[in-house]
């Protein structure tokens, strides 16, 4: 999160102009702050409530960046 504002341009370059950005972190707190910032910048952003912890508890798949089974730590 400390790098987010400095790297904001990377998001605006990669995000579709008419698409929604889903923001997620481990528990939902940091992603809520980033979501508020994005919305203030005019981006259609939503916070994934409960973060990755809630995602995993609900039985949704968690994978690492190689597509292998992952874990929320």
Sequence spans of domains, the chain: 4-57
Please identify which of the residues 11, 21, 25, 54 carries the catalytic annotation. 25
Q: Which residues of 7-40 are buried (b: 16+ CB within 10 A; e: fewer)?
A: eeeebeeeeeeeeebebbbbebebbbebbebbee
What pLDDT, on the 0 to 100 scale, is given for residue 28?
94
Concerning whether 25 is annotated as a catalytic residue, the answer is yes
Class of domain 4-57: alpha beta
pLDDT > 80? residue 15: no
Q: Is pLDDT of 13 > 90?
A: no
Band the pLDDT of 30: cuts 50, 70, 90: very high
**Global pTM exceeds 0.85:** no
Residues 63 and 69 sit within 8 Å (Cβ to Cβ): yes
């Amino acid at each position: 999160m400390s790098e987010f504002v400095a790297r904001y341009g990377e998001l605006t370059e990669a995000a579709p102009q008419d698409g929604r950005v889903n923001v997620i972190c481990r528990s939902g707190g940091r992603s809520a702050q980033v979501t508020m910032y994005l919305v203030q910048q005019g981006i259609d952003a939503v916070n994934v409530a409960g973060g990755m912890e809630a995602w995993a508890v609900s039985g949704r798949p968690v994978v690492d960046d190689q597509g292998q089974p992952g874990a929320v730590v």
